[in-house]
Amino acid sequence: MNETYYTNAHIAAYPVEYIAGIDLYNAGEFHAAHDVWEERWMGEVGPDEKLFLQAMIQSAVAFHHLQIGRPGAARRMYLMAKEKFARLNQPVFMSLDLADYQAQLDKLRASSKFVEANRYVNGAHYNQHQLAKRQEADRMEKRLEQMKQKFADLQERARKAGFGSAVYDP
């Protein structure tokens, strides 16, 4: 399932590198997302966007390190990214809810159990499996929230149409 988390308005408003990085990141292609965002970061951008992109790059690198079995390096990148997001001091930047995104990073960090890949037989494979499980759980949570919203919208439309025990009064 190729699900996008942005609209045509986002595509019109933001640089193509940012949008491409989102697609790569959501597909679990963290190193490629890093490369695309870094290309934009190295160009002429304002200081807030530069700081934001650096934080996004570092969060992508953190996940890449998890994929290849380097949890210590992942933790360092995670902490560096969080520090930069905090320095932005904005609740939303480039349409990304920074508090929600950081909460997702924190949740992943707290719940995923990774091992040093070179210390255990199949350690890197184990870590890839753990990361895939976490990504699937995140996708399922997002889908559940979307379904809840659709249900609430359907209930509201039914109420407005006069169905149910409530009477619609505009």
Q: Which domains does the chain have, with CATH numbers?
A: 8-135 (1.10.3450.10)
pLDDT attached to residue 39: 92
pLDDT attached to residue 33: 92
pLDDT attached to residue 1: 39
pLDDT attached to residue 70: 78
pLDDT attached to residue 118: 54
SS3 of residue 115 by DSSP? coil
pLDDT attached to residue 131: 75
Q: Which residues of the chain have pLDDT under 50?
A: 1, 166-170
pLDDT attached to residue 35: 93
Q: Is 60 exposed, middle or buried (0-12, 13-18, 19+ CB in 10 A)?
A: buried
pLDDT attached to residue 167: 45
Alpha-helical (H) ranges within the chain are 8-13, 16-26, 30-41, 47-67, 71-88, 98-111, 123-160
